[in-house]
Amino acid sequence: MRQQYDAALGRWVFAFDIHIDTDTNKGEEADRQRNELKTDNNSPASMVATQGQELVDSWLFQLPAGMKTTSSFTHVHQIKGLDNKAGTADISQPVITFTCRSASSRQEFQVIHVAPSSEGSTLTYLAKVPLSDFLGEWVSVEERMTCSTSGSYSVTITRVRDGKALVNLEKSPLCMWRDGTLGLRPKWGIYRWFGDGRSAASQLRDETLLFADFSVTSH
């Protein structure tokens, strides 16, 4: 991650670079690669939501024009649980994911909810919208959730240039908690699959995603 000046916003922003030929997954060669920023167990309590609390996040991001995707995942945001000291929390899957994916007839931006493992880790697509509306554009995100088994989730994503709402959803009740977890926390960046033995690498390229104005509060 680095900083660069953005003329459209008139200020410095964070640039998340991913290189198809060199970047790995946490230093390990695998079928995926990532460059992410997240809150964790060492973050202030105000940036991690415990059971029953409300977590409110906001930020700006820009996906690059011509961004390449596969039919698998290119995640740009997730809400995940923090493990406990015993390492037994149900955190293998995220609770919420924003991903970019190649569908049958178009590239899509998807908002996905994953149920707890006790409910089969079932995926529910809360939104599927054209990725083309995002590419090369700054968008503003307002995300709010109540972190409980009968919780709620809402998000609005607005294109900065013209104020168009690209995603506007509210879901309640929705399971927004995981057994054993110490809290829920957000992460941002790029986390993408390129296949076993790099089988899908030819479908991808080097990308730079821009982020700005991160805000995280819990109460």
- Is 209 among the domain residues? yes
The three-point CA angle 113-118-120 to 5° equals: 55
Which segments within the chain are labelled E, that is strand?
A: 2-6, 11-18, 32-38, 54-62, 74-81, 96-102, 107-114, 123-130, 138-146, 151-159, 165-174, 184-193, 207-218
CB atoms within 10 A of CB 112: 20
Looking up tokens 């991160």, which residue turns up? 214
- Name the nearest CA neighbour of 198 among 100, 98, 70, 99: 70
| 67 close to 61: Cβ distance less than 8 angstroms | no
Q: Which two tokens stand for residue 23?
A: 């970047």
Q: Look at residue 32 and tell me if it is in a domain.
A: no
Give the C-alpha separation, 125 to 96, whole Å: 10
Does a structural domain hold residue 115?
yes
The answer to whether position 29 is within a domain reads: no
Residue type, 140: S
**Which domain range does residue 192 map to?**
2-23+50-218
178/81 Cα distance (integer angstroms): 7
In a domain, 15, yes or no: yes
pLDDT truncated to tens, each residue of the chain (219 aa)?
899 999 999 999 999 999 999 988 887 778 999 999 999 989 999 999 999 999 999 999 999 999 999 999 999 999 999 999 999 999 999 999 999 999 999 999 999 999 999 999 999 999 999 999 999 999 999 999 999 999 999 999 999 999 999 999 999 999 999 999 999 999 999 999 999 988 999 999 999 999 999 999 999
Q: Does a structural domain hold residue 191?
A: yes
Residues 6+ away with beta carbon under 8 Å from 211: 13, 14, 16, 37, 59, 60, 61, 62, 188, 189
Distance CA 18, CA 192 (A): 9
**What pTM, to 2 d.p., does this model score?**
0.95
Are 208 and 15 in contact by the 8 Å Cβ rule? The answer is yes
Q: How many domains does the chain have?
A: 1
For residues 38 and 81, what is the distance between their CA atoms, to the nearest angstrom? 12
Kindly state whether residue 31 falls inside one of the protein's structural domains.
Answer: no
What is the domain-level CATH number for residue 130? 2.60.120.200
95 falls within a domain: yes
Give the phi and the psi of residue 24 in degrees, each rounded to 5. Answer: -125, -170
